[in-house]
Amino acid sequence: MSVTYETKFASLANFEKGRVEPISDDVKHYAFSNCFEIASQSKPYEKVVFGQNQIYVLEALRAEGVSPWYTCAHDEFALSMDGDIEIHLIKLDPAQTVADVEKNGAVLVQGEPKGQKMGWMKLKRGHQGMLPKNTAYQFRSATPGVIVLQSCKGDLTVEKWADICQTA
């Protein structure tokens, strides 16, 4: 007897609401981690946390148009869940790097980034790119898409637990 499995891939245009199926617990203790639903209800490049382990977070971003320039005192990782996302990188001059090396999470670059252009990468669905510390990065997407960003909780992290936690 063979078992047949069907893999379904979601997208921003086609997803099912996330849910948790607890065995003997209360579902209100869990967040459904549906990055597509979160991105469908978010402003472009709003960093909405949907998973957290101490200071480390997973943030869902709606990729649409051109983002502001960000930088971070630690490495981050961006994963394209849907769409073609360009990430442009500039190695920042020391005057524009994050002064507090202990600062967690991304911050906006003040003014236009100054420093050596490092190039850009194009992430297609399922591709991941590293965003090195003290580097300015900018996302660009011609059509709406979804990015999952692995980072640390910071000033730009938006918490919407009341909106994304399942209660029944």
> Under CATH, domain 27-164 is a member of which superfamily?
Jelly Rolls (2.60.120.10)
Residue 16 is predicted with a pLDDT of 77
CA-wise closest residue to 131 among 155, 149, 108, 104: 149
**In this structure, are residues 43 and 156 in contact, taking their beta carbons and an 8 Å threshold?**
no
Q: What's the pLDDT tens digit per position in 93-149? A: 998 888 788 899 999 999 999 999 999 999 999 999 999 999 999 999 999 999 999
Longest dimension (CA), the chain: 66
Backbone angles phi, psi at 3, to 5 degrees: -105, 135
- Going from N- to C-terminal start, the domains of the chain cover 27-164
